[in-house]
Structure 1
Amino acid sequence: MHRSPTAEAEVADELAEVRPDLAGRYAAELPGARAAVLTRLWRALTHEPLPWVERREPTGEGRLLRLRDGRRLHGPVPDPYATAGYVTAVRLDGAAYGDPARLMADLRVPHGADLARELGHSVASLALSRAGQPTGPQGAPARDWEWEQRVVDGHPYHPNCRSRPGFSVAEQLAYAPEHRPVVELGLLPVPAAECLVTGEWPRSLRDGGRVMVPVHPWQAAHVLKRQGGERLAGHPLMSLRTLALPGGPQVKTALSTRLTSSVRDISVGSVAAAMTLSQFAEPLADERLCFTRTLGAVTDGSPDLAAVLRESPETYARAGERVVPVAALPLTGLPRDPGWLAGFARLAMTAGMRLLELGVALEAHGQNLLVVLSASGVPVRLVYRDLADIRVSPLRLTRHGVPLPELPPRILTDDETALRRKLFGSLVGGALAAVAGSAPALGAALESAVRELPDTPDRAALTSEPLPVKALTLMRLSPGARGDRWALLPNPLP
């Protein structure tokens, strides 16, 4: 079995210095972390349009990939919607690989060496995340941010699910949500005349003629090279750079490093459009779907120093209800029986497809989409946050008499394929698939949900065509390409 000790050993050495009590648990978690990342990588190898994979063939005991250089890669039968780390080894020309980083390095494909390093960090950080979890039973969280901090494994389908380049072990323990820290944001003063401010920036974050911009401590140390004098404590959410402030809103900060796939800065355009998008979405809400309001946004003109304040999703919970990110639903202990899954799928698909018909395609993955549960665990409504990556169709809005405000050009498209990819890839291939955990469970839940959807061209595409999802690994292997790349998965509907 091939293993690359580099990233794993680096983390082990750092851990011995800063948290020696976790060293044994970290070592014990490494095999499971390798399997989790390898499972995600195998999904990509067997389904994404990778140019160096010539043909994929079923075999009696799995799937055979014939590579363009003549080599053969063999592994288990893939379930593109499975979330458990079921792939413990694959064979490249007969040699067994259990380490995804070593496999990617030995495939010797363009940009594969860079991805191999990221996969190594993903394995090591995932093992660290798992090692840092409480050993005893945990009670039910009292706040929505506590649910977010229980999502330990990161993105359910991205091989870089826990890759955090530029973060030391000490910084991961201090800032990563799964380690449950309280993070102190610095407040950097910037003259108001030098800032773009949209919405109502709170008086508590102003100092005379200066705007106090919340800054993540990693950003302050590594990018801005300066610290704010005052501090604002918060609880980090799944995205790491967004934090829940005690008793108040949530704040999204700039974090100029690559986490999973994206650099988490905040563009000037995003700040400029933040309030317009929020006001555009408000009247589109109904009894099934609410949108968290953006309260204010600020930038000094650089994507490295900016922040956005928005409502807590708990605003939309009534007495006895709780708000849970969809990514955390598998951790709630709720019985994921077919009836419960079908009910959740009906709620999510009805809300998402209604908006798509109107002309708004949501990026409704498990982080952006939250569900409000009744006291008995029944999904009663959805909450959506972070409108920065939605897509809007002017043509469809006009058809339904919905006014179109001035939105960033990158958000606007009448391309029906692009609109459907945005919603289907995030909601069906991401959020619902991860909750279901397998192709059969997802198909059964969707079958019940689509029966109640209006008969539209969008419904026809959902039920009769392959399911589009982002080709996450291909995108990491295509550093010069702009925009999203896509893969087509087998339609999970029976």
Structure 2
Amino acid sequence: MERVDLMPPGDGIGERADAYAAAPLLNCLLREVAEPLPESGDEPFPDTGEGRPRVCRLPGGGRLLRVRGARRPAAPEVYAAGRWHRLGHTELVKLVAEELRAHTGLSNGDLPAEMIDSRDVVAALLTARARATAPDDPYLRSEQSLITGHPYHPAPKARGGGPVTAWLPYAPEAHARFPLVLLGVREDQVAEEGDTSALDALGAVPPGYRLLPAHPWQLDLVARDLAPAFADGRLVRLRETDFAVWPTAAIRTVHEPERDLFLKFSLDVRITNDIRRLWAHDLRKLRRTDTAATAAFAAMDGPAAWLGDRGYRTARFAFEELAVVVRDGLRGSLLPGATPLLAAGLVEGFEGSPLAAAADPGAWWQAYLRAVVPPALTAFADHGVVIEAHLQNTLVAVDGDGTPVQALYRDAEGVKLLGDVERAAGWERLVYCLVVNHLIEVAAVLAERHPGFDPWPAARRELARHRFPEVAELLASPTLPGKTNLLLRWTGADGADARYLPLPNPLA
């Protein structure tokens, strides 16, 4: 199949931002709302020489929509008065809002603004990247590559609608790096659990205080709430670190390579479906979920690793606002000579990506499957642990030839335990994260780069090696669960309240 270029002619930032922002929004509209029309060959919209477009009907108003490209749809047009009319991003947002009002009977003034904000953020990121220097470390390059972001979210790059100057200095996609702010919390006001000793090594504090690093963006966001604590001495501002940290794809999680230190902060900004604060209920169950995941991976016969969330520290009077989680570094888990890469970065693409360089897609894909599938399924079947095995929580380590040899999973906040959730719900979540959000995306990139390559026989074989009932049902099922991020956000559902619709199963 001929590849369709998402980027319009020319290299204007505005046009490129429109194309980047339109692709995930169109993916959501096509998955969740639109009704595909069968190809008959006699429609009033023939092949134009760029490949036959996808045409669908929007049920709310009966309008016809067509797009080009499969994995990242582009060039949206609506049919009216006997011809096709091209939609810019603003017009596309208006069309989506009209369609959702008709489809759901509900209005939503916030989501269209987030869609526009997401597009404007992309434009600012593209401008900043043009004059920024990407990190030399391929791992950091992969973490900071996500210009598109979540491919099935209507506003994946929205940053809370704030001014560019507020968030750009901390944006991974702009290759940012910055120092942390070191605070002192009076000892009687400290709340912590687990191993937080890595924080004490970041600097000295006055007698009677404990060290608490803070993300400067979060500190700005909650400055008014913290003013009384600074005034009465429960909290003191010490200095900035003498080293810089690199924000990872998660934005609020940062990495300091020399210390091999990962820190995850609260961030009072809506990013995709949630306000990214470290909520108290999640912090209080962190040790339990992380301990279960750590034990599950330790029991496995293989190179897969779990990057544990060792513990958290915060202030009692700002429990969620100032919380910081200490995460395991990479060095203790990586195979010798292996290079870790973010799976989402492999899908997005970055300089030096081994997926892009794979000469034999079949061999590369089999190695990839053998690295990422067994640990996720084994954790579920043998240990009752449901990890969020999606693209952004998966690191894939490659050897010197670029061949996948190891998977490293992370983020205890998203872990579910089968003692707490129904087995069927846990399995549905795992299938969505591992297959729909992860394997389908990687497979699509390989198929796009290597016309004629079919990734699914190998995926079926790898899954079939795991002999428990849910796998057999998965391989026989005509559908997979697809999360409805557009409808979830439009109807104002809680970000953690996943809702699914059936998608065609390429494994069946």
Q: Same fold (TM over 0.5)?
A: yes
Answer yes or no: is 1:346 the counterpart of 2:361.
Answer: no
Aligned to 1:74: 65
Residues in 2 aligned to 1:450 and 1:272: alpha-carbon distance in whole angstroms: 38
Q: State yes or no: 1:204 paired with 2:187.
A: no
Give, as a single letter, the amino acid of the residue that structure 2 aligns with 1:101: V
- Pairing partner for 1:479 from 481, 492, 501: 492
CA 1:169/1:228 → structure 2, altered by over 3 Å: closer, same or farther?
A: same
- Provide the rounded CA distance (Å) in 2 between the counterparts of 1:317 and 1:420: 28
Residue 438 of structure 1, CA deviation? 5.4
Unaligned runs of 5+ in 2: 1-9, 41-52, 227-235
Change (3 A) 1:363 1:32: same
- Contact 1:369 1:382 (8 Å CA) reproduced: yes
1:242 to 234, 239, 253: 253
2:229 is aligned to none
Question: Aligned pair in 2 of structure 1 residues 200, 343: CA closer, same or farther (>3 Å)?
Answer: closer
Deviations 1:176-213 (A, max 9, x none): 01212222222232223223201122233573432322
How many residues are paired up?
Answer: 441
TM-score by length of 1: 0.81
Give, as a single letter, the amino acid of the residue that structure 1 aligns with 2:256: L
Partner secondary structure for residue 78 of structure 2? strand
After superposition, where does 1:66-105 map in structure 2 within 5 Å?
A: 66-68=58-60, 70-76=61-67, 79=70, 82=71, 84=72, 86-91=73-78, 93=80, 95-99=85-89, 100-105=92-97
In structure 2, C-alpha distance between the alignment counterparts of 1:473 and 1:72, rounded to whole Å: 19
1:479 Cα deviation (Å)? 1.0
- Listed as ranges, the matches of 1:244-283 within 5 Å are 244-248=255-259, 249-283=261-295
1:304-335: per-residue Cα shift (whole Å, max 9, x none)?
A: 12110111234322432111111122431443
Correspondence for 1:405: none
Residue by residue over 1:397-416, the C-alpha shift from the partner in whole angstroms, topping out at 9 and shown as x without a partner, is: xxxxxxxxxxxxxxx21231
Percent identity of equivalent pairs = 24
Amino acid at match of 1:381: Q
SS in 1 for 2:37: strand
Tell me how far 1:65 sits from its aligned partner: 2.1
Matching of residue 323 in structure 1 with residue 333 in structure 2: no
Distance 1:252 1:357, change over 3 A: same
Q: 1:20 maps to which residue?
A: none
Structure 1 unaligned runs (5+)?
1-25, 395-411
Q: Does 1:122 align with 2:146?
A: no
Give the aligned residue type for 1:239: A
Name the SS of the counterpart of 1:256 in structure 2. coil
Give 1:250 deviation, angstroms: 0.7
Q: Distance in 1 between matches of 2:67 and 2:141?
A: 36
RMSD of equivalent CA atoms: 2.9
Task: Show CA shifts across 1:429-482 (max 9, x none).
Answer: 112233233596799334213314223222123222212122111111121457
The answer to whether the 8 A contact 2:289-2:416 is kept is no
- Normalising by the residue count of structure 2, what TM-score does the alignment of the two structures yield? 0.79
Whether the 8 Å contact between 1:421 and 1:469 is mirrored in structure 2 is: no
Letter in 1 for 2:433: S
2:321 aligned to which of 304, 309, 329: 304
* d(CA) in 2 for partners of 1:90, 1:129: 26
**Among residues 202, 210, 229, which one is paired with 2:238 in the alignment?**
229
SS in 1 for 2:454: helix
Return the offset for 1:137.
10
| CA–CA separation in structure 1 for the residues paired with 2:480 and 2:386 | 15
Structure 1 residue 456 and structure 2 residue 476: aligned? no
Change in Cα spacing, 1:35 to 1:246, as seen in structure 2 (3 Å) is closer
Partner deviation per Cα, 1:215-243 (whole Å, 9 max, x = no partner): 22121112233583322331111111111
**Could you tell me how far apart the structure 1 residues matched to 2:134 and 2:211 are?**
37
